[in-house]
Structure formats: structure tokens, C-alpha cells
């Protein structure tokens, strides 16, 4: 519930430097849901300032949410000069503890791809 998320946000803030927020996100089964998820993710930037760092923890979301978080991260870099320093995702492994991986290196790979394109 939203009340549970407020408490979780307070707990996260106690461990982070500032601005932690937990939010409820839809499954993303329709285009309308995806647009609402986009708005929810992108609203994070309303609270950020230039050169802030963003860490996305989407550990318990569906795979498609990681793609959307990646796109939102790139747009935030363009519009707000905010860099995603962590994009954490849990890789479901049936019957075992799921490893959590940091996919933020993909932003660096994308920067390299853009640099090569500009060079060409």
C-alpha cells in the first residue's frame, strides 16, 4: 500500500544520502499502463537537480521494466544532466536465490555507441 511505501521510503532515506522513494508500479500489460509507468518513473526527475546521481532498484519488477528504466535513465541524462549510477535488477533463478545485477554499465556502452556514431 502507499502507507507501506512511505515507511519503506523513510527506511531507505536512513541508509541513503537523500531522496529515496519507493513506488507502486503497474505490470505494463497495455500501452496505457506503460504510459503511466513512464510518467511514474520520469516523475523522479522532478525532485532531482543537475548532476545528481540516480540509483534505480527494480529488483522485483518484470523484465520489461528494466528496459523502460534504461530509457528513462537515458532521457534523464539528456533533460536533467542526471547520471544513473546504479540500475539494479534481480535475475530470477528458479529454485535458487536470485542474483541482483547492476545494469548501469549499459549506459557507458550506449555512450560509446553514440561516440562511434558521431565519429563516423
**What does the pLDDT read at residue 69?**
85
Report the length, in residues, of the chain.
120
56: exposed, middle or buried (Cβ count in 10 Å: 0-12, 13-18, 19+): buried
Instruction: Provide mean pLDDT across the span 111-119.
Output: 93
Is residue 1 predicted with pLDDT exceeding 90? no
Entry pTM:
0.71
Average pLDDT, rounded, for the chain: 83
Instruction: Provide mean pLDDT across the span 89-109.
Output: 82
Is residue 17 predicted with pLDDT exceeding 70? no
**What does the pLDDT read at residue 120?**
95
Backbone angles phi, psi at 49, to 5 degrees: -120, 165
Cα gap 72→38, rounded to integer Å: 7
State percent of the chain over pLDDT 70. Answer: 97
Is the CB of residue 39 less than 8 Å from the CB of residue 17? Answer: no
Amino acid at each position: 500500500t502507499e502507507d507501506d511505501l512511505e515507511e519503506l521510503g523513510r527506511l531507505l532515506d536512513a541508509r541513503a544520502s537523500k531522496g529515496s522513494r519507493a513506488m507502486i508500479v503497474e505490470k505494463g500489460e497495455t500501452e496505457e499502463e506503460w504510459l503511466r509507468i513512464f510518467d511514474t518513473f520520469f516523475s523522479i526527475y522532478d525532485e532531482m537537480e543537475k548532476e545528481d546521481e540516480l540509483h534505480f532498484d527494480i529488483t522485483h519488477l518484470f523484465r520489461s521494466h528494466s528496459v523502460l528504466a534504461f530509457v528513462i535513465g537515458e532521457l534523464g541524462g539528456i533533460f536533467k544532466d542526471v547520471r544513473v549510477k546504479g540500475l539494479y535488477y534481480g535475475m530470477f533463478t528458479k529454485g535458487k536465490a536470485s542474483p541482483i545485477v547492476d545494469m548501469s554499465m549499459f549506459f557507458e556502452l550506449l555512450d560509446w555507441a553514440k561516440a562511434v556514431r558521431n565519429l563516423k
